[in-house]
Structure formats: C-alpha cells, structure tokens
Structure 1
Amino acid sequence: MSILDGILRNIGGAPDDVANLARQLGIDPAIAEQAIATLGRTHQMDGDTVQLAAEKTGLSPEILGQVVAAIGGEGSLTQFAALIDRDGDGNPVNDALGMAKGLFGGS
C-alpha cells in the first residue's frame, strides 16, 4: 500500500486506492499517482490548481479535472494537502519523507 492509498482512504467519497481511481478513469496507476500528488501540491499555490498541475506534469487538464472530481473535488484536495503537508510549511516532500522513514523504522 502506498502513502497515497492511505490518504485516499481517509478522504470521504474518494476511491479506496490509486489502482481503483486509475481503473475508474482508464489511466495508468502511475499517472494517477503523479496526478494526485501534483494536485495536492498545486492546490496550495496561487492560481488554478488544475492548470498549474497540467503545467508541472504535462498531463491534460481534462484528465486532471477528472482526478479532482473522482476524489471528491477541491474540498478533498484541501484535505489531501493537509494530510501530506503535516507541518503546514507548504512543502509536503519533507513530510512524505518523514512518513516513509516511520514506515521503515527510521528516525
């Protein structure tokens, strides 16, 4: 189970995991994972979340919009962003690394 799978399970109305989301949208799970992570980051930035994510990933705004809708809309992105940016510093990478260390017994 990926970290994103665990986060999706905590967002009401979202698919249970990345594979289910990808299957619903007819896209590769790796693309779905990239889309979710990028949308979570760009949601915290000034500007249109989907457009910013499209610029960063090269994925079409249509696919990214479908991902947003499938996980429950902009409100779910707010929950997602809060879950991946636990310390609220606007940088979820350090938090994800901390979660990964915890999973593998690091400190």
Structure 2
Amino acid sequence: MGLLDGILGQVAGNPAITNLAERIGLSPEQLTAAISALGEAHTQPGDTVAGAADSTGLSPDVLQQILGHLGGEGALGNLGALLGGANGEQGGLGGLLGGLGGMFGKS
C-alpha cells in the first residue's frame, strides 16, 4: 500500500488529520500509520481491525474508533477511490484532502 502511505504522509499536517489524532489521543503520524494499516488489512483475509492491530501495536479499541470516524469498513474502499484521483485524475491530491477532511470532520 505504498501509494496510500505516501499520500497519507503528505497530508499528516492537514488540520483534519491533526484534529482527529488529538480526539483519539494519537500523534498525526500514528493516525496516518493506523489508517494505512487499516487500508492494508482491509484487502487481506480476516478481521480488518485485528490485522491492523497486529501490524501497528495499537489496541483494537483505538483502531475501531478510527474506523468509526472514517465511516466504517466501507469507507476504506472510498479511500481507494479517492486515491484513484491522486495521479492527477478526478481531483488529485486536492480531492483526496477534501475527502479526508469530510470524513475526519465527523464527530
């Protein structure tokens, strides 16, 4: 999931990510790593949260909170759709930032 890691690394300073990280009690870097791990685990067989917990060392409860803020497991597929535009199509990085801001702006 190198593309997702790269994009999330670029948006780590985004206020939406910083805000969500503070609400959950993580650093923006930990949050982006957790989102990346959730995205990776979502494509693998087995439980998404358990797989991300294994790879990050974060508790399943914290990862479940993040997943809830993202909009559930279905939203992980939306991240893939947003990333489809990251190469200059359909909004690119601006579209991704807007989409992430919309998802993370939820309380």
Q: Quote the sequence identity (%).
A: 43
- Look up the match of 1:28: 27
**Does the Cα contact within 8 Å between 2:18 and 2:28 map onto a contact in 1?**
yes
Matches within 5 A, 1:1-107: 3-4=7-8, 17-84=16-83, 86=84
- Structure 2 distance, partners of 1:45, 1:61, is 17
Using the size of structure 1 for normalisation, the TM-score is 0.62
- Aligned-pair distance for 1:78? 1.4
Contact kept, 8 Å, 1:68 with 1:74, in 2: the verdict is yes
CA contact (8 A) 1:54 1:64 kept: yes
In the alignment, structure 2 segments of 5+ residues that lack a partner are 1-5, 94-107
Larger radius of gyration: 1
Q: Contact conserved, 1:5 with 1:17, CA < 8 A, in 2?
A: no
For residues 79 and 18 of structure 1, what CA distance do their matches in structure 2 show?
Answer: 17
Shift of 1:51: 0.2
Aligned residues: 81
Runs of 4+ in 1 over 6 A off after TM superposition: none
Q: Aligned equivalents of 1:32 and 1:47: distance in 2? A: 22
Please, what TM-score do these two structures have when normalized by structure 2? Answer: 0.62
